[in-house]
Amino acid sequence: MSVTISFLGGAGTVTGSKYWVRAGTQSLLVDCGLFQGYKPLRLRNWAASPLQPDDLEAILLTHAHLDHSGYLPLLARDGFRGPVFCSAGTKDLCKILLPDSGHIQEEDALFANRHGFSKHTPALPLYTRQNALDSLALLKAVPQRQTFSPLPGWKATLQPAGHILGASSILLEVGGRRILFSGDLGRPDDTLMNPPDAPSRADTILIESTYGDRQHPRDNLLSELGPALQRLAARGGVAVVPVFAVGRAQAFLLAIAQLKERGVVPHALPVFLDSPMAVHTTQLFQQHPGAHRLSPHEVQSLTHSATLISSTDESKALASRHGPMVILSASGMATGGRVLHHLAHHAGNHRNMILLTGFQSPGTRGATLASGARSVRIHGRDVEVQAEVVQLQSASAHADSGQLLDWLRQAPQAPDQVYVVHGEASAADALRIRIDRELHWRTVVPEHGSTWPA
């Protein structure tokens, strides 16, 4: 029986992961992500897909980030009714992220219609909060490190991958082939998450390459963040910190609490977490004590180191406060949500600061800010950027190039082939070259829409 993989996302780009695995008359999808970043990529979310709901019998999710799970409400809205297998942590996070994604899309469409800056009349959300809520019924939690059968004759095993709560690599066994999907791999020295499990024996490995062309700096988050917040406090400014609600927000809350405990930054420096999604995610660390490396005291510090903002009115009220203060708000690449209102309000003041907390996909506002642009487009208008923009290099939850190679080196035997995915073209090709030269394994960077043997 021939087994093939079609790369419908996460190929040639660091977003939209979708891997369609077919064996005989059966098929399933590994990851079901949204495209983000450049407009041509985002338009793929709206385009007719070669994958129809009736083509699929099941879905496996590596983790809950929207570039891996955020297309699920659309498939479910259009008729997909099969099971969606994932870890318990991923299921809990999807309950937070997917409805929030639908809500943000509805809010952005309403805002565009109210202010008339959309090219479409009326502007519509890709999907609604209700679509997302409906899709949650399909999620089926399975224990990590335990093999199960997603389809008759197929086997799958979720293996901890670090990165965020519930993140997994997936070993899929079908048609005599063993296919390992790395998912997003965490760092072995991550401040929040345990290191990834070593890879299982596999005939084919799909390896992510977000940081395939980079090494993380030796500085840690505390040594980078401390001086920035000292400067901010000294000049009485406001720091706007676009954070990923899952993982990055919690890492920053922990770091700020530690900096205050050590006297590096003023203990009285106000910190606000303005993201209901991040607030709920932070609480999940208490419910999954074995899925991370934090002590009970550190978990407690997450929920006590900031004022948690829930309502829209509370968020709007922050605009009337004066610095110094720190506002953490989703999303991590400034692609939507409340953080855009904070950026629009504070970016024009030279006393203020914009703290970018990790990789910024090309085409996002975060990438525009990181490039040193003096204006950024928000809600249909150009916002002047006079605030100090600081891009932190040590906060990423992704393994870097050397750590990805180290993970592959732990494989019990060489695979037949490696597919390098989930990276920009330069990062993916740089990792391909390293795998070829250092491990001497057959390595391919598949193109979007291509189909390859498993």
Nearest to 246 by CA among 210, 273, 213: 273
406 to 158, 179, 434: CA distances (angstroms): 20, 19, 11
CATH class of this structure's domain 221-391: alpha beta
Query: Which pLDDT band, with edges at 50, 70 and 90, does 136 fall under?
Result: very high
Domain residue spans of the chain: 3-214+397-453, 221-391
Instruction: Report the DSSP beta bridge partners of residue 59.
Output: 29, 84
321 to 125, 314, 331: CA distances (angstroms): 32, 11, 22
- One of 3.30.300.170, 1.10.630.10, 3.60.15.10, 3.30.300.90 is the CATH number of 3-214+397-453, namely 3.60.15.10
Query: Which pLDDT band, with edges at 50, 70 and 90, does 237 fall under?
Result: very high
Q: How many CA atoms lie within 13 A of 244 on its CB side?
A: 21
**pLDDT (mean) for 94-116:** 86
Could you report the per-residue pLDDT of 16-71, keeping only the tens digit for each?
999 999 999 999 999 999 998 888 999 999 998 888 888 899 999 999 999 999 99
Q: What angle do CA 213, 215, 220 make, to 5 degrees?
A: 150
- Evaluate if residue 120 carries a pLDDT over 80: no
Where is average pLDDT lowest: 127-136, 168-177, 299-308? 299-308
Could you report the per-residue pLDDT of 175-224, keeping only the tens digit for each?
999 999 999 999 999 989 999 999 999 999 999 999 999 998 888 889 99
Q: Given this model, what pLDDT does residue 233 score?
A: 95
**pLDDT (mean) for 354-373:** 90
**pLDDT (mean) for 150-167:** 97
Q: Given this model, what pLDDT does residue 443 score?
A: 98
High-pLDDT (> 70) share of the chain, %: 99
**pLDDT (mean) for 252-260:** 92
Instruction: Report the DSSP beta bridge partners of residue 47.
Output: none
**CATH topology match: 3-214+397-453 vs 221-391:** no
Q: What predicted TM-score, i.e. pTM, was given to this entire model?
A: 0.89
- Evaluate if residue 377 carries a pLDDT over 90: yes
Nearest to 270 by CA among 221, 220, 233: 233
Across the chain, mean pLDDT equals 93
- Evaluate if residue 119 carries a pLDDT over 70: no
- Evaluate if residue 389 carries a pLDDT over 90: yes
**pLDDT (mean) for 357-369:** 87
Q: Give the dihedral sign, CA 395/91/13/408.
A: positive
Q: Given this model, what pLDDT does residue 202 score?
A: 98
Contacts with 43 (C-beta within 8 Å, 6 or more apart), sequence order: none
Query: Which pLDDT band, with edges at 50, 70 and 90, does 117 fall under?
Result: low
- Evaluate if residue 300 carries a pLDDT over 90: no
